[in-house]
Amino acid sequence: MPRQQQPAARPAARPVRRRSYDQFDATARALDSVGDRWTLLIVRELLGGPRRYTDLHADLPGVSTDVLASRLKDMEQSGLALRRKLPPPSAASVYELTERGHGLLPVLTALAEWGAPALAERRPTDAVRAHWFALPLLGALTGLTREGVLEVRLDEGEFHLHIGLRAGGGAGFVLPGAEAYGAVYGYGPADRPDAQIILGAEVCLELAQGGATLTEAVKDGRVEVLGDGPLAAELRGE
């Protein structure tokens, strides 16, 4: 009986090398890590704290599962994010930003400020999530000196901001008592907010663009402040 010919062994697959600008320049190096489509939007989502893969996919409409998985893997390799398992009884894994990944907060807030004028009109195909207004709103709240959890209510939904003092002084947005690179905001309503504000998305964007100050918007009734504590009093200008 003739011997069956064995199929030729396939050569080992070479590791895929990420594209690089190959320029000895800080901007080019930064874009090597975050210049791919969707990467900075994933950072935006993770600035709200650890998230499961399914939650990320749900809040990034338009991204394919393959692309999302690839970007998350790249972010892990670049030291921007890490994956960890939640303690029992949960068996879920979550992604979260590293300190270096959280260092992109000023980049995202600057991009949000730069891009805000392009939101003058909402396109019929535009998706929207309430927490996408968190970064544009940060600039309007930088003058606050009181610590606490601020719940923000929009027609699109709710989110909350962790307002406190960063290491070294100065107002910032961190979990009270957390490290300086803690979550910037939280999804949905807060469990025990120190203050609440109710406003429309248009007013939120106007504040982000500097068209009005928070004090002015509160005085003319376009922003409603709820709560009795020091943070609420400061928001009302008391």
Q: What is the pLDDT of residue 49?
A: 92
* Helix/strand/coil for 82: strand
Which residues of the chain register pLDDT less than 70? Answer: 1-18, 165-182
Residue 135 CB-density burial (10 A; 0-12 exposed, 13-18 middle, 19+ buried): buried
Which tens digit of pLDDT belongs to each residue from 96-153? 999 999 999 999 999 998 998 899 889 999 999 999 999 989 888 888 889 899 999 9
Which pTM was predicted? 0.84
- The answer to whether 148 and 230 are in contact (CB under 8 A) is yes
